[in-house]
Amino acid sequence: MQITKKYLDELTYKVIGCAIEVHKHLGPGLLESVYEKCFVRELELRGIRYKRQLWVPLEYKGLQIDTELRLDVLVEDILYAELKSNEGLAPIHDAILLSYMKMLNKPKGILINFNCVNIFKEGQRTLVKDLFAKLPDE
């Protein structure tokens, strides 16, 4: 299957829907690890493939570096989801998401913060890299 902007946008919509469903049932204030377990269960229930807590490889000037970097959830091997349970999303969260997207060579990522009143309005942010612009529209 060829990855397109339309496919990624539709997948993003489904993933945010999963987060909204988890938030609807649990509300704010729990640990990130709890939300992650429920979030991946929701992905499973909807037939969406994922990998969680993957080590992020880092190459520096031709040397593979062992790091302690782990991503939260990689959806369908193309969309990265960074999960939070903070008092809000800060610019550093964007920077972390973009760094991981660069290291993993992924075109799109979503920040999801479960510690909010409304996931859709204030609890998520979608970011894209230049790879996204190079994808075909459909």
pLDDT in tens, 8-42: 999 999 999 999 999 999 999 999 999 999 999 99
Closest CA to 114 of 42, 6, 7, 9: 42
Residue 23: predicted pLDDT: 97
Residue 66: predicted pLDDT: 83
Residue 20: Cβ within 10 Å count: 17
The structural domain count of the chain equals 1
pLDDT in tens, 60-104: 999 998 888 889 999 999 999 999 999 989 999 999 999 999 988
Position 56 confidence tier, pLDDT thresholds 50, 70, 90: confident
Give pTM, 2 decimals: 0.91
Whether residue 61 contacts residue 68, with contact meaning beta carbons closer than 8 Å, is answered with no
Domain hosting 61: range is 5-134
Share of the chain above pLDDT 70, in %: 99
